[in-house]
Amino acid sequence: MRRKRAWLRRYQRVFGWRGLFYFIYAEILGRRGEVAVTVPECRSPIYLRLGTSDVGFCDEIFMRMAYALPLERPLRVIVDAGANIGLTSLYYANQYPDARILALEPASANFSQLCKNVTAYPQITPIRAALWDRLDQIAIVNPLARHGTFQIWGGNDPEAVVLEHTPTMTVVDLLSTNGLTMIDLLKIDIEGAEVEVFAAPSAWINMVSVIVIELHDCFRRGCSLNFYNATQNFEDEWHQGELVIVAREGAGQTD
């Protein structure tokens, strides 16, 4: 019951008075459908899939401003790894209109929705790939708590339900294929793949100014350990809800 009430509040924050109707339709009756919603921070509608994680992400990013950053300088290059349906990319595209944004999403259903949502934003480049420590094809396994959230997986558990496979991309390859030498902001929400991405980052970590990350030690041991080992030369650190932000000197929090 508590979980239902929490989702009702999310629907109401995102949709206003229509939220109760959409909540009953999707969460009580179990129906599916797509709804366009307009938020003040975006110049075009956002398309959300009812009964999925989309509504929760919209609430988190646009209503509760989870990814608002008090940075001291403008951002020119942003990488959104684990972009889902593109909401964080959209938020940053409106906050930093001169920034080039690369949005990586491995799950095909989410990627299709991402492409639809960012159509009006030529500065956002959708890339169907999972951020990883090597170039490969990797499995996407059974969804987590809600439809729309997925986990990439490189293990050998015969009981794992593989939904599809996706290509991987390393940070170095992402930089080289897009003609970049620096990432001003690296946002990471990759459901446990932090273990691999931050295991041996010496080839690229000095090319990143700010990292915004959600760590997933609840899924896999080693996420925080590898991340903090990799970013020990970042001078600033602060936390916003479930997010950890590290920044190099001169890029971090304003007073």
Provide DSSP, the chain: -HHHHHHHHHHHHHHGGGHHHHHIIIIIS---EEEEE--TT-SS-EEEEETSTHHHHHIIIIIS-TT---BSS--SEEEEET-TTSHHHHHHHHHSTT-EEEEE---HHHHHHHHHHTTT-TTEEEE--EE-SSS-EEEEE---SSTT--EEE----TT--EEEEEEEE-HHHHHHHTT-S-EEEEEE--TTTHHHHTTS-TTTGGGEEEEEEE--TTTSTTHHHHHHHHTTT--EEEEETTEEEEE-TTTSB--
The answer on pLDDT for 255 being more than 60 is no
Q: For residues 30 and 51, give the distance between their C-alpha atoms in angstroms, rounded to a whole number.
A: 7
CB 229 within 8 A of CB 201: no
Q: Mind listing the pLDDT tens digit for each residue in 211-230?
A: 999 999 988 899 999 999 99
Name the nearest CA neighbour of 121 among 106, 142, 139, 99.
99
> What are the Cα distances from residue 91, in Å, to 13, 52, 70, 223, 248?
17, 20, 14, 26, 22
Res. 244: pLDDT tops 90 = yes
Model pLDDT, residue 141 = 75
HSE toward the beta carbon, residue 102, CA cutoff 13 A: 26
Strand ranges across the sheet with 243-247: 124-127, 100-104, 77-81, 183-188, 208-214, 243-247, 236-240
Q: Return the CATH fold of 66-247.
A: Rossmann fold (3.40.50)
Rounded to the nearest integer, the mean pLDDT of the chain is: 90
Distances (CA, A) of 166 to 74, 83, 135: 33, 14, 11
Domain with CATH 3.40.50.150 in the chain: 66-247
How far is 84 from 93, CA to CA, in rounded Å?
A: 15
CA–CA dist 208, 81 (Å, integer): 13
* One-letter amino acid of 156: N
Confidence of residue 139 (pLDDT cuts 50, 70, 90): confident
The model scores a pTM over 0.85: yes
Kindly indicate the confidence band of residue 146, based on its pLDDT and cuts at 50, 70 and 90. very low
Cβ-Cβ contacts under 8 Å for 164 (sequence gap 6 or more): 107, 108, 139, 140
- How far is it, in rounded angstroms, from Cα 85 to Cα 127? 12
pLDDT average, residue stretch 125-134:
96
